[in-house]
Amino acid sequence: MVDPKFMCDKHLLGEHCEIHMFIGAIRKGKRLDGFIKNNLLEIGSIYNRHDELAQEMLKRGFKHNSILPKLEGSDFKCLPKELTEAKIDRRKALLDLLKRCKYCRERYSKFR
């Protein structure tokens, strides 16, 4: 949930890919508890997040042709309600990203 403009190309494209993988995993009934509990996934914002990432990809000249399949209510049967409503700590996520990636730090410093 870091502002996509701060993300390097690698992290921007990587998160976009992960969102598609998470949707596939949810549709297959896979448990994602660890991702949610470790501040890595916010199920309730997954479609808006995909749109934010896709818009930033287009701004940078990347192509975006991947459609994100819609989830049905039954797709969430593998997740308890507290996990589907969990929110990412955005500040913590930003600090973690900036600590791990010098390219994201460079992009962040250009906007600050």
Distance (Å, whole) CA 96 – CA 84:
23
What is the full per-residue pLDDT of the chain (112 aa) written as tens digits? 999 999 999 999 999 999 999 999 988 888 888 888 888 899 889 999 999 999 999 999 999 998 888 877 766 666 777 777 889 999 999 999 999 999 999 999 998 8
The pLDDT value recorded for residue 13 is 97
The pLDDT value recorded for residue 71 is 79
39 by Cβ neighbours in 10 Å (0-12 / 13-18 / 19+) ranks as middle
Look up residue 49 and give its DSSP letter: H
Distance (Å, whole) CA 104 – CA 10:
9
For the chain, domain boundaries: 4-111
